[in-house]
Chains A and B, each alone.
With several copies, the nearest count.
Chain A
């Protein structure tokens, strides 16, 4: 494969995924334009790109969700294509259409496909029409007083409320008690409106303890579609994926073939082009039910990349440039096992409350078989306005157990001081015997880690802490400033006690 037909791409996103896309462009020899809000003025994605355009104030509607400003930034910088990443405008058909009108290639499916599949109800009908089983549900019960309740009771509680336009757990609520229906629906509508600009809801019968298994597909504009195996994303907290892996511990070859074939059938029926994900719920009898199609790159795409040996972002760009897919289904071979952990700025000790703030100290793991897709840097202020995802740790190994051990090791070496994170919680997940057994469901976390608390500090940590705090007790200005240990001027074995004094930014 030679050079791609783009010379400059605008990346309409922030954080780790923007960094990931900029790097993919750079490897293809394509210049990049970042966009950023005032809250991201010195964020890594903005620093890494060749050019950066300020969109506006921190609020998403004024920056990363503002179609006009993003398109104008692309026009002004002479970009030929736009990569939307995930979230924000990635599944907004109006944005894809606006790009087209401005002669920009939108790196994703055509607007009509996004629109059709983005409407969860249409997507369900489409899947059913090609013989793929779906979850029982009611499409758009309407916002009229009582309509929701009626639909829910018709399906039978418990039910799941979902943003018809949504994805990623935003605007999603489980309702087991009819009394909670109204307030939960209001909350779901508000979140849906904020995240997707559309508050239409969908009600589905809740499948108890399902496994969430999805299929990565890749389609070119010439009618070629392949699937790249499945990902299991059952480990979720409040419908938000936390740990993903590929392959699924549940899947054997016949299951994988059937699931992949179903996914390709849906994609083909939709006229799908570019990378996409077909999501399924699998019940306790190993039957799968079509859930929805995500018409964009997924957060968890790296596990597929490591197992299938394919660069999905580069493939997206090539397909968008009109190239023919360079692999057929027979060429796809899956090797080993990959696990991903999402690192969130949240406090597991305080009900997983978001924990924005300044990254005071950062050390990211670097070990063989481990990939860290990070969107943060030391000194950065993690804004309160966006998703709490900081980075993703992905571990590959020949076997699932080796990949899990490798992941645990990477999480141990990952240091983020400042915002509280779920790093220790993630390690508790991957080190849990039920996780090792592959015994997963979307209830995995409440079932097994509902009362998780971090261990108390062991004596050696208390001893080190006491020593450190004592050494800094009388340091001038220590009470209000940030400090970290200085490099010893003299080599090792110098008297250390004086050297524990910190440094202050001048």
Chain B
């Protein structure tokens, strides 16, 4: 019998777990719930799990630190966090404008030094033939912008905005 503990991170959520193994079965405590399960590999990317007596087909793949799972028609992404820690991802700094998806910065509508109001259009990111307008989330001054034509990953900072004490229109 062995006993392991850890923290499962999914998006902004962290769930601590304890797994107790006993032969081919295990008991997992996740959050406040207890699940008796056994898991058997079926084929590459496919597991047969039994959870509290029910069959589950689990499709899965690891991609870097992410583990992608598909169970009963829904896809999930998990990674391992450190016990007691919740900082699995760098928090998004409010004001920095990030690419909503991988794509190309097709047009930049502001320049450094310009002040903007919340909701102002800042730049356009294009991917899969669709344009997406990135808007300011709060008022401030543009510090840095991305060169149009640059290919960016999802979440990359495309415009840096510094908070100012007054709004762009001087209120």
Q: Is A285 an interface residue (CB 8 A)?
A: no
Is A363 a contact of B55 with CB atoms below 8 Å?
A: no
Chain B residues lying within 8 Å of A346, measured Cβ to Cβ, are 128
The proximity string for A residues 480-492 relative to B, scoring 1 for CB distances below 8 Å and 0 otherwise, is 1111111110001
Binary contact readout A450-491 vs B (1 if CB under 8 angstroms, 0 otherwise): 000011110111111111111011000011111111111000
Total number of B residues with any Cβ neighbor in A under 8 Å = 74
B61 touches A483 (CB 8 A): yes
Q: Which A residues are CB-close (under 8 A) to B121?
A: 183
Q: How large is the interface on A (under 10, 10 to 19, 20 to 34, 35 or more residues)?
A: 35 or more
Complexed CA–CA distance, A183 and B123 (Å): 12
Complex Cα distance, B33 from A404, in Å, reads 34
Which residues between 79 and 101 of chain B lie within 8 Å of chain A, taking CB atoms?
Answer: 79-80, 100-101
Q: Are B75 and A354 in touch, CB under 8 angstroms?
A: no
Q: Roughly how many angstroms separate A357 CA and B66 CA in the complex, as a whole number?
A: 14
The answer to whether A292 has its CB under 8 Å from any CB of chain B is no
CA gap between A47 and B62 in the complex, in Å:
22
User: Do B62 and A496 have beta carbons less than 8 Å apart?
Assistant: no
Q: Which of B8, B21, B102, B133 contacts A356 (CB 8 A)?
A: B102
A485 lies within 8 A of B47 (CB): yes
Which stretch of B9-17, B142-150, B158-166 is in the interface? B9-17
Q: Does A462 contact B56, Cβ atoms closer than 8 Å?
A: no
* A441 at the B interface (CB under 8 A): no
A354 near B127 with CB under 8 A, answer: yes
Q: How far is the CA of A496 from the CA of B44 in the complex (A)?
A: 14
Question: In the complex, are the beta carbons of B131 and A412 less than 8 A apart?
Answer: no
Q: How far is the CA of A378 from the CA of B68 in the complex (A)?
A: 15
Complex Cα distance A195/B131, Å?
12
Give complex CA distance A356, B127 in Å.
9
Interface residues of B (CB under 8 A from A): 4, 6, 8, 10, 13, 15, 17, 19, 21, 23-24, 26, 28, 30-31, 33, 35, 37-49, 51-65, 67-76, 78-80, 100-104, 121, 124, 127-133, 151, 154
Known: A353-B154, A456-B13, A488-B40. 19 other contacts (CB 8 A): A34-B55, A190-B131, A353-B101, A356-B102, A361-B68, A363-B70, A377-B42, A385-B128, A418-B61, A459-B30, A459-B31, A465-B67, A466-B30, A467-B39, A468-B69, A483-B61, A484-B61, A487-B41, A496-B24
